[in-house]
Amino acid sequence: NAGVTQTPKFQVLKTGQSMTLQCAQDMNHEYMSWYRQDPGMGLRLIHYSVGAGITDQGEVPNGYNVSRSTTEDFPLRLLSAAPSQTSVYFCASAGHPNDYEQYFGPGTRLTVT
């Protein structure tokens, strides 16, 4: 059981470039989510999904897209990177809706120059 995996661990982008952060889980969890963590700001929800084919916006969705074609995978796309998107990104998954214990991945540290 690998849990929640994220790739890459580190990434440097130039302003305007696009990229996809990958997230996968092998626990058959229905709920998956993406967060960004900035110093002093805590974790902020970007997008989430309650099952394959269903996605919705969190607190800070602008500049990010997601899709959920399978239960296992939940990629996060940055279409045109901006310096304000420099952050640490965490993916998480959770199982039963009444008891959403979230399992987090190890994070991706993204720098946009």
Residues that bind other proteins (CB under 8 A): 4, 31, 33, 35, 40-45, 48, 50, 56, 58-59, 90, 92, 99-107
Q: How far is the CB of 80 from other proteins (least distance, A)?
A: 26
CB-wise, 11 or 102, nearer to other proteins?
A: 102
The span from the CA of 74 to the CA of 82, in Å, is 22
| Dihedral over Cα of 52, 56, 61, 62: its sign | positive
CB burial of 2-38 (b: ≥16 within 10 Å; e: otherwise) equals eebebeeeebebeeeeeeebebbbeeebbbbbbbbee
Q: How far is the CB of 86 from other proteins (least distance, A)?
A: 17
CB-wise, 23 or 78, nearer to other proteins?
A: 23
The span from the CA of 56 to the CA of 30, in Å, is 14
The span from the CA of 12 to the CA of 32, in Å, is 25
CB-wise, 15 or 26, nearer to other proteins?
A: 26
CB-wise, 26 or 56, nearer to other proteins?
A: 56
Q: How far is the CB of 16 from other proteins (least distance, A)?
A: 29
Q: How far is the CB of 23 from other proteins (least distance, A)?
A: 11
